[in-house]
Chain A
Amino acid sequence: EPEVTQTPSHQVTQMGQEVILRCVPISNHLYFYWYRQILGQKVEFLVSFYNNEISEKSEIFDDQFSVERPDGSNFTLKIRSTKLEDSAMYFCASSVGGGPGEQYFGPGTRLTVT
């Protein structure tokens, strides 16, 4: 069964550094998402992406964040200048359509900012 993959599984970075989290969505999916989960808290929506454009973004997704689909398979989340509070598990997800239906989640990247 196809799965969403994410790399790396764990990323440690120093405050102020840029990080890029990578995701490979399921190949026939058209909608892509990033969520994050700070330890012990809810899974929070960051951004949705379709047709090379952001469909929706949350208040968390400020100017420090950007997303890109650099080629036909990868979907990336960039954090320009990491802060301590960016430490979280970041999940990528994808879905076939944009309407209500299953979003398939990747295994997550644990980002630790020191």
Chain B
Amino acid sequence: GENVEQHPSTLSVQEGDSAVIKCTYSDSASNYFPWYKQELGKRPQLIIDIRSNVGEKKDQRIAVTLNKTAKHFSLHITETQPEDSAVYFCAATPIKAAGNKLTFGGGTRVLVKP
């Protein structure tokens, strides 16, 4: 089955700097890659996703890149703000007829220092 590895497990950045989180996946059939943000005590919320027919996607200060050949994808947060402090999870799933399970990475705890 699919295995997703995520690095680093913790990341501390100064406010205004960029943060990069990297994930690798094992199943070449995976073709949908969402990123979830989980603030302390709250539910995971989707912040951006990318499909395998796209190499890069951007939404304001966040961007995701995908390298299908190398089977890795990355989250980039620019101009970090204290409210970006949270745990970020990458995930991968193959397209199926129904019930696409998400396989998650281990999470990255991001701390943005003011």
Give the interface of A toward B (CB within 8 A): 4, 31, 33, 35, 41-45, 48-50, 55-56, 58, 91, 95, 98-108
Contacts and interface: CB of A to CB of B under 8 A. Distances in A.
B40 to A, nearest CB: 12
A99 B57 CA distance: 19
Given A42-B107, A100-B31, A102-B49, A108 B100 contact: no
A43 B95 contact: no
Contacts, number: 67
21 contacts: A31-B99, A43-B104, A43-B107, A45-B102, A48-B98, A50-B98, A50-B99, A55-B98, A56-B99, A56-B101, A91-B44, A98-B96, A98-B98, A98-B99, A99-B95, A100-B32, A100-B93, A105-B43, A105-B44, A107-B42, A107-B43
A14 B85 CA distance: 36
A102 B35 CA distance: 10
A49 B32 contact: no
B106 to A, nearest CB: 5
Interface string B35-55: 010000011111001010000
- Residue of B93, B99, B102 contacting most chain A CB atoms (<10 Å): B99
Given A43-B89, A91-B43, A108-B43, A103 B102 contact: yes
A105 B38 CA distance: 10
A106 B99 CA distance: 17
Given A42-B104, A42-B105, A42-B107, A102 B46 contact: yes
Interface in B86-114: 89, 93, 95-107
Contact of B44 (A43, A44, A58, A101): A43
Contacts of B103: 45
B44 A48 contact: no
- Residue of A31, A91, A99 contacting most chain B CB atoms (<10 Å): A99
A48 B101 CA distance: 7
Contacts of A50: 98-99
A102 B34 CA distance: 8
Contacts of B107: 42-43
Nearest to A55: B99
